A = this chain, B = another copy of it.
Amino acid sequence: MEPGALPLGPPREERADAARNRAHLIEVARQMVAELGAENVTMDALAERAGLGKGTVFRRFHTRAGIFVALLDEEEKRFQDRVIGGPPPLGPGAPAVDRLVAFGRARLEFLMEHTAIARASLDPGRPVPAKESPSLFHVQMLLNEARPEHAGSGTLALQLVAALEGPVLLYLQNRENAPAPVALMDNLSSSWQVLVERLCG
């Protein structure tokens, strides 16, 4: 033990173990999604392939959907970095309406690329925590800037996020591992632009 370190030996080791287990489970889950498809990744299959107990997997992810929430979270961080610090118009430095339009196109591309994981991360018993949604945070911020008189209650921003994410998450048929049709992406991006420009124009 280093001089001055608190004598937290066993719990500290447990935390390091937990972090290692988490990284290992996410890596194994990612391999399984690539090889077997998201629909064949279950808590039991993940535990077996990772060589860990079912209890460990359960404590880490709570539900099957939780596995995919963790997988998506890793990708989400990279996406958010582009919004927070990337070049405009997705990143800072462009007018709010242009940023909303760019956000819509980038978000659609993100969801199309990760459709299987994003859908599998939904759990009917546990709504997506809107308050923690980075998409809602950005859309709300940009709407505040473009149209403060409409941004008040927060429900309009939530409806815009739903307009953007709902078609991919809820309604569109998309075979797993099949690339989304380019025309569909273009149509969704164009109508998102119409919606945003009419709302804010």
Main secondary structure of the interface of A (DSSP, over half): helix
Number of copies: 2
Does the CB pair A187–B153 fall under 8 Å?
A: yes
Most B CB contacts (10 A, CB to CB) among A39, A167, A190, A192 go to: A167
Range class of the A interface residue count: 35 or more
A19 at the interface (CB under 8 A from B): no
Does the CB pair A163–B171 fall under 8 Å?
A: no
Does the CB pair A162–B171 fall under 8 Å?
A: yes
A76 at the interface (CB under 8 A from B): no
Does the CB pair B119–A170 fall under 8 Å?
A: no
List A8-27 residues whose CB lies under 8 Å from chain B: none
Known A163-B162, A166-B166, A171-B127; judge A191-B133 contact (CB<8 A). Answer: no
Does the CB pair B170–A169 fall under 8 Å?
A: yes
Within 8 Å by CB of A188, from B133, B159, B160, B198, lies B159
Known A158-B171, A159-B167; judge A190-B125 contact (CB<8 A). Answer: no
